[in-house]
Structure 1
Amino acid sequence: MSQTDSEFADLLADTRHSAVHLEMRDSYGIGEEAAAFEAWRAGRRPSPEPDTWWNDFHTMVRDAAARGVTFRRARIVSEPVSDYIRYEHDCTYQNVAAGEQVRWLPRRSASDLALPGNDFWLFDQRVVMWNHFTGDGGSAGPEVDERAGAVKLCAAAFEAVWERATPHEEYRV
């Protein structure tokens, strides 16, 4: 799912307090991100200058954070990490600059946690946006879910991961 999709943008526009995101895959092959990853693998490193990487997603996060929305992103990763996770770690300063807090949890430390089967966003602890992927990491489309049980599962899973995870600035790949 491109995080500039209108469905995501609409949900974020309605968010007043919190947006949390749980990522559980060791690689993603999504659109222009795939090209950026390949460039990174070839040795190109992202410039710290915002005008070289800032995009619509970062603007949405910054604007929502300015109106009081707290953003937290947690990533469950296998260790040793994949090249893709190394790439994500290298680029996470962009998420932080936009207004997100980011933490990392080694998969071994998540073995006893009840986790949903898909990555998700949870907005204001009221609506889930599931991120569905194909086997090769491409987007299979998002799904919005307001069922109380799904919201409860995602909220509990995210908090359990967040509590155990290491803040981005302390996590080493």
Structure 2
Amino acid sequence: MVGDDFAKLFRTFEHTAFRLEVRDRYDASYENESLRKFLAGEPDDLPWIQDWLTMISAATQRGLRFSRVRVVSLPLTDYSRFGVWCSQFTNGAGEDIRYLPRPEATAAGLPNHDYWLFDSCILVRMHFDDGDGFLGAEIIEEPAVIVEHNYWRDAAWHHARRREDFATEQRIERY
């Protein structure tokens, strides 16, 4: 599942959308110029994320909840530092992004794959190639697997640090 079928899930969920991210990098060419500017300390209006911010803001104003836990390796890669910096804008739009160092995620028994969980009952497992490129997603319908992913969501959330606290710990500035 890619494209419109996947995008439809973000328009049709009724209560919550949760994402667990476990990769240290995602190959998203639309981010490359913003990442370059971030590393160079140059200002950027982040054109690639504006539609996402608009969608999150509208959804959260209707009472929907977006949350995410990012599992990160320490020290942070340049890409992960960029992600922490960008998350100030997504959090500002209404998404609650939190961070969990990889050793703590491993100790908590979290999986080593990315997924979205919509309304605690629609599980979408994400697939990536060895070069960190997104290959697509699949809906998983087995009830026991969905329950397991709900448990992992709750465990990840319990152990994760709020974005602001994590950014302060990692000395990632706002601007």
TM-score, structure 1 normalization = 0.86
* Counterpart in the other structure of 2:125: 130
* Counterpart in the other structure of 1:61: 56
Conservation of the 8 A alpha-carbon contact between 1:16 and 1:68: no
- The correspondence of residues 102-113 of structure 1 with structure 2, limited to 5 A, is 102-113=97-108
Change (3 A) 1:150 1:58: farther
* Counterpart in the other structure of 1:76: 71
CA distance in 2, matches of 1:24, 1:8: 19
* Counterpart in the other structure of 1:36: 34
* Counterpart in the other structure of 2:22: 24
**In structure 1, what residue type is equivalent to 2:21?**
E
* Counterpart in the other structure of 1:114: 109
* Poorly superposed stretches of 4+, deviation over 4 Å: none
- The correspondence of residues 157-172 of structure 1 with structure 2, limited to 5 A, is 157-171=152-166, 172=169
**In structure 1, what residue type is equivalent to 2:128?**
F
1:104 positional shift? 0.5
2:75 is paired with a residue whose SS is coil
1:129 positional shift? 1.6
Query: Is the deviation greater in 93-102 or in 110-119?
Result: 110-119
**In structure 1, what residue type is equivalent to 2:14?**
R
Change (3 A) 1:54 1:79: closer
Tell me the percent identity: 33
Conservation of the 8 A alpha-carbon contact between 2:122 and 2:146: yes
CA distance in 2, matches of 1:136, 1:38: 19
1:158 is paired with a residue whose SS is helix
Structure richer in helix, relative to its length? 2
CA distance in 2, matches of 1:35, 1:132: 24
Superposed CA RMSD? 2.1
- The correspondence of residues 91-110 of structure 1 with structure 2, limited to 5 A, is 91-110=86-105
* Counterpart in the other structure of 2:9: 11
**In structure 1, what residue type is equivalent to 2:85?**
D
Q: Which runs of 5+ in 1 are unaligned?
A: none
Q: Which runs of 5+ in 2 are unaligned?
A: 171-175
**In structure 1, what residue type is equivalent to 2:13?**
T
